[in-house]
């Protein structure tokens, strides 16, 4: 039987999760707030218990998991499309504290207690969290998409508020939990030349003159000429008629099946066949050739600025972004596609994206620092009976217990049991000391450290 030190009391328990109904869990409320979080059941999510999102959501909300339903995203934050709520203390019939009742939304509570954000955060972003924290379980490809910069987001929100829900930009970062696959950013001009020479169906759609423009580009040509040629050919492909795309996709799939009998298909070709099964006759199947095919190992991260094309393909990840839900889609989706906006907004930057490995802060914690003020993510993997400290920082954080169980001490000497599925809001200037009872996997999202300590 495991013995846990808990303030001046010792708890004997075969399994720490039995402590959830004891009066000591969540006892102090002056600093850290426990959250009940929202789930999104988008069609591309992994189904039922296969989904890590489903498991975490079930534990967080005490909800049953529907085995036939896709569980795509767990949202932790203040965005109105998937608000988090504070968990209230109440008493059950035996006089024990019960934590199942929801209080007000985190957004509302922060607006009444803005000091929890810290002074600099309030000055820059007002009385709201500047980041949105998520867990994603991707069962099939998401749409080919990009997120608008602030200026475009404002214009789109004003023009089409039902489609573009807010006026903020949405830089984002995906940190792989499992092996994670994505399409991200345009391939180099050398790779694109090779694609155009080996995929005759693209030439059939866009025409020989655009293809020649690309093939004739030399190293002496400036970036603007390259971008202009890429924009032209990509826009032509994305704007092709549905009938044309159906016809050439069918030709391409038949050709690949036949060629697979005599040679090994490339990774990209195998991906194209898989995408066509998921989204038959979709322009995104052909467009996949234009993008880098990225495979992240667990613990590797990918970040995306505004106006960069991408599509997550498969796997599970932690995701963090600026607080926004703006998406401009143009392929691999049954949803509304805004091809003109997407093609005109993209940067057409080429080359393989930077992969972040995280900066080790101590033996157990790695920090992932994308080049965006709004957010950073810490990943903490704590072996059994080990301790670590999350130092006080000048901004707010959200902490997710992704696996295991332990005890957390914050600005008060009293400890709290934390278990898998717990999500906690940590106010600015709050130090956390955490001790594990089993292997403990935590993720913390907060405002980017460089925002508080810009390099001189």
- Helix or strand (DSSP H, E) at 203: helix 200-206
Residue 192: other Cβ atoms inside 10 A? 24
The residues near 170 (Cβ < 8 Å, ≥ 6 apart) are 147, 148, 153, 306, 321, 322, 324, 325, 326, 327
- Work out the end-to-end distance of the chain between its first and last CA atoms, rounded to an integer number of angstroms: 53
CA nearest to 348, candidates 162, 186, 128, 152: 186
Tokens of 146: 């990009």
Q: Give the strand pairing for 415-419 and 387-390.
A: unpaired
User: What pTM was computed for the model?
Assistant: 0.89
Cα–Cα distances (Å) from 31 to 21, 372, 412, 425, in that order, read 20, 27, 8, 9
Q: Decide: 344 and 157 in contact? Cβ < 8 Å.
A: no
pLDDT at 120: 96
pLDDT at 101: 54
DSSP-derived 3-state class of residue 34: strand
pLDDT at 456: 41
Active site residue 329: yes
Q: Decide: 203 and 184 in contact? Cβ < 8 Å.
A: no
Q: What are the tens digits of pLDDT across the range 399-421?
A: 999 999 999 998 667 789 999 99
Query: Given phi > 0 = left and psi -120 to 50 = alpha, else beta, which region is 340?
Result: alpha
Q: Give me the catalytic one of 36, 329, 366, 435.
A: 329
Cα–Cα distances (Å) from 330 to 142, 214, 256, 283, 390, in that order, read 11, 22, 24, 8, 41
How many residues belong to the chain?
Answer: 456
DSSP string computed for 256-300: HHHHTTTSPPPHHHHHHHHHHHHSTT-HHHHHGGGEEEEEEPTT-
pLDDT at 323: 85
Going by the annotation, the residues of the binding site are 145, 147, 172, 310
Q: Where are the beta strands (DSSP E) in 350-431?
A: 355-356, 359-360, 365-368, 376-382, 387-390, 397-403, 405-409, 415-419, 423-426
Burial 343-374 (b: 16+ CB within 10 A, else e): bebbbbebeebeebebeeeeebbbbbbbebbb
pLDDT at 412: 64
Q: For the chain, which residues score pLDDT lower than 50?
A: 1-29, 90-100, 456
pLDDT at 333: 86
Alpha carbon distance 85, 33 (integer Å): 10
Residue 275: other Cβ atoms inside 10 A? 25
Cα–Cα distances (Å) from 367 to 200, 348, 445, in that order, read 45, 29, 10
The residues near 55 (Cβ < 8 Å, ≥ 6 apart) are 49, 65, 421
Alpha carbon distance 65, 315 (integer Å): 19
Domains of the chain with CATH codes: 183-356 (1.10.441.10), 364-451 (2.60.120.10)
Going by the annotation, the residues of the binding site for Zn(2+) are 145, 147, 172, 310
Give bridge partners of residue 398 from the DSSP assignment: 425, 445
pLDDT at 3: 38
**Owner of token pair 């020479």:** 197
Q: What are the tens digits of pLDDT across the range 317-331?
A: 999 999 887 888 988
Tokens of 199: 């995929």
Q: How many CA atoms are closer than 13 Å to the CA of 434, on its beta-carbon side? A: 30
């Amino acid at each position: 039987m495991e013995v846990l030190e808990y303030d001046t009391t010792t708890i004997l328990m075969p399994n720490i999760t039995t402590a959830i109904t004891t009066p000591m869990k969540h006892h102090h409320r002056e600093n850290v707030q426990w959250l009940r979080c929202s789930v999104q059941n988008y069609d591309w999510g992994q189904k039922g218990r296969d989904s890590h999102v489903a498991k975490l959501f079930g534990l967080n909300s005490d909800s049953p998991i529907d085995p036939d339903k896709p569980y795509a995203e767990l949202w932790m934050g203040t965005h109105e499309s998937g608000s988090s709520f504070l968990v209230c203390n109440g008493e059950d019939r035996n006089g024990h504290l019960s934590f199942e009742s929801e209080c007000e939304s985190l957004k509302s509570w922060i607006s009444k207690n803005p000091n929890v954000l810290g002074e600099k955060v309030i000055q820059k972003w007002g009385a709201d969290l500047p980041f949105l924290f998520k867990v994603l379980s991707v069962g099939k490809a998401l749409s080919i998409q990009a997120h608008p910069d602030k200026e475009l987001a404002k214009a789109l929100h004003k023009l089409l508020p039902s489609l573009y829900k807010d006026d903020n930009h949405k830089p984002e970062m995906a940190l792989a939990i499992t092996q994670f696959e994505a399409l991200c950013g345009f391939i180099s001009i050398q790779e694109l030349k090779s694609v155009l020479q080996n995929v005759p169906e693209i030439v059939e759609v866009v025409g020989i003159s655009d293809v020649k423009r690309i093939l004739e580009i030399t190293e002496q040509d400036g970036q603007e000429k390259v971008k202009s040629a890429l924009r032209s050919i990509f826009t032509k492909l994305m704007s092709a008629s549905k009938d044309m795309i159906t016809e050439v996709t069918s030709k391409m799939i038949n050709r690949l099946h036949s060629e697979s009998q005599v040679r090994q298909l490339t990774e990209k070709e195998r991906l194209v066949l898989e995408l066509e099964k998921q989204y038959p006759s979709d322009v995104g199947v052909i467009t996949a050739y234009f993008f880098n095919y990225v495979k992240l190992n667990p613990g590797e991260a990918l970040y995306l600025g505004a106006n960069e094309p991408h599509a997550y393909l498969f796997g599970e990840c932690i995701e963090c972004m600026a607080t926004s839900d703006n998406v401009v889609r143009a392929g691999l989706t049954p949803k509304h596609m805004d091809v003109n906006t997407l093609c005109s907004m993209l940067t057409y930057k080429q080359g393989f994206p930077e992969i972040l490995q995280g900066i080790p802060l101590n033996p157990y914690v790695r920090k992932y620092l994308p080049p965006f003020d709004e957010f950073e993510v810490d990943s903490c993997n704590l072996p059994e009976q080990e301790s670590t400290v999350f130092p006080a920082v000048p901004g707010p954080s959200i902490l997710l217990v992704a696996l295991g169980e332990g005890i957390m001490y914050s600005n008060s000497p009293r400890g709290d049991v934390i278990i898998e599925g717990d999500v906690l809001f940590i106010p600015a200037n709050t130090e956390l000391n955490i001790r594990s009872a089993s292997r403990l996997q935590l993720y913390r999202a907060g405002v980017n450290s460089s925002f508080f300590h810009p390099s001189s």
